[in-house]
């Protein structure tokens, strides 16, 4: 999975704004979405992100992975991620 070509983003501690200017898609994200987006930009896998979040938060990794898969599906549906 990778970020689609031509995508621009701004990420800070408050969240992210992601833009696909060609298709006119703008997505805003909260702080957690921004964290995940930034890690995806750095080519970290969903499993790697899940491990980081589980270590940092103490949450169950299975729940985190399920949430990340759902989030990634939303990003793919918006054309922001490629499979």
Say whether pLDDT at 20 is over 90. Answer: yes
Contacts for 36 with CB less than 8 Å, ≥ 6 apart:
29, 49, 68, 71
Per-residue pLDDT at 1: 82
Instruction: For 25-39, write each residue's pLDDT tens digit.
Output: 999 999 999 999 999
Q: How far apart are CA 31 and CA 16, in angstroms?
A: 7
Q: What predicted TM-score, i.e. pTM, was given to this entire model?
A: 0.92
Q: How far apart are CA 17 and CA 37, in angstroms?
A: 10
Average of per-residue pLDDT across 52-71: 97
User: Which phi and psi angles does 45 have, rounded to 5°?
Assistant: -70, 160
pLDDT above 70: percentage of residues in the chain: 100
CATH architecture of 2-82: Orthogonal Bundle (1.10)
Boundaries of every domain in the chain: 2-82
């Amino acid at each position: 999975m990778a970020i689609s070509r031509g995508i621009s983003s701004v990420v800070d501690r408050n969240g992210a704004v992601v833009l696909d200017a060609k298709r006119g898609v703008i997505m805003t994200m909260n702080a957690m979405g921004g964290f995940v987006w930034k890690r995806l930009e750095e080519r970290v896998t969903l499993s790697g992100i899940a491990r980081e979040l589980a270590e940092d938060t103490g949450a169950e990794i299975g729940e985190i992975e399920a949430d990340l898969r759902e989030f990634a599906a939303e990003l793919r549906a918006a054309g922001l991620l490629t499979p």
